[in-house]
Structure 1
């Protein structure tokens, strides 16, 4: 496993777009959070900790792209054959990729969330630091990365995988929002990966799902995607 982890870390570290994507995760998250925290109108919302972490909704898209490319680039370039020759146990390959993606995203997410909180504190003097939304946001981004990695492994096409993940993160909440039946709308919000997972940021109001339960729902999505990806990786030719 040590060899597989070292190999995956080396591939990710030396990939030309990795550093740029990580910078965008941090800069984009902090920038959007700053713009949201600068809001002063009545429609800005009373949940100041959540408001100061608005940028996570942009950062998740970049995290998804980064995680998809970790596996998607191997299929598009044909390098997956070399990888599976060097590490014949395919489950070990996916596990190593998952560990590396989770670690890298966790570091970038921690920096991005910390920056967002600092900006929020400067722009919103009445904003009290609440630990749970910050920790929840970091975990949320890590789980989005694992969901994206599993999807890319199952779909085996970077563009298609990115489309699937972004649909789940952005289009599904929009569709849920236009559902007219309140009971169905609440149920869809409780099972949607983004709407459930982002409940970890909320500190006020009536929540459709508890913060940690919401992260649990997203974790199930990520686990399911990795299981599906692992099954495809094991059964199909590279």
Structure 2
């Protein structure tokens, strides 16, 4: 009996510690006034831009040789910036106010703190992303008839929601690395938009394709494509895997530096 208690007790303590960390991070994010506005902004900005683009297409994208589903999800390119800002705020806000010292004193398991922040941000972003992407896809289908079949549309929309969650995790990792909210926003936006700019400027088609394959945005948003998949620089799920590698790589580096550096 005593042996069983000795095995179970540490597990229960670990579970209680994890719940305490999650509760603390949820309370901080929930009570911040910026959180509500950013969540609303993710939905409004994504849907508004998607509808604006879809409603003003000069002709049916299916007839013009485009991809109606991907066109209807154009607003994600703006919505992802708000996702990144929300995630940066969850970490960088504490560095800006100095509250990080109190957080790490009360919760000394630093990797646990970062994991709790990542999970809480994911839980907040997930419903906003689901609503924004679903509404954009449905409205885009209204303005752009001739969209792909249901399986391809479900893959594009579901993959886009996952993409936005990965952008949030990427932003959390970057913020843990640079420890400054403004700098973190700049770094994340540069990672997202620099690769397509460099690809457009590349004189060699081989380098252009390679840049599009390794950029977190250009690779990840390949999951939105429903036509011409054989012509893409990278496949839909492989592209989402590239974004996941960026996100979890940033989280890993951020966790290591959080352990090694002073607050």
* Shared fold (TM-score, shorter chain, > 0.5): yes
The within-5 A match list for 1:1-238 is 1-41=18-58, 46-128=66-148, 129=150, 130-205=153-228, 206-238=231-263
Over the residues paired in the alignment, what is the CA RMSD in angstroms? Answer: 1.3
Mean Cα deviation higher: 138-147 or 118-127: 118-127
Query: Equivalent residue of 1:17, what SS?
Result: helix
Mean Cα deviation higher: 42-51 or 105-114: 42-51
Query: Equivalent residue of 1:88, what SS?
Result: coil
TM-score, normalization by structure 1 = 0.97
Query: Equivalent residue of 1:12, what SS?
Result: helix
1:86-121 CA-partner distances (Å, limit 9, x unpaired): 110000000001111111111110010111022112
TM-aligned CA deviation for residue 71 of structure 1: 0.4
- Long gaps (5+) in structure 1: none
TM-score, normalization by structure 2 = 0.88
TM-aligned CA deviation for residue 43 of structure 1: 9.4
Distance, in Å, in 1 between the alignment partners of 2:144 and 2:208 is 32
TM-aligned CA deviation for residue 176 of structure 1: 1.6
Query: Equivalent residue of 2:108, what SS?
Result: coil
Distance 1:43 1:154, change over 3 A: farther
Aligned residues: 238
Distance 1:231 1:105, change over 3 A: same
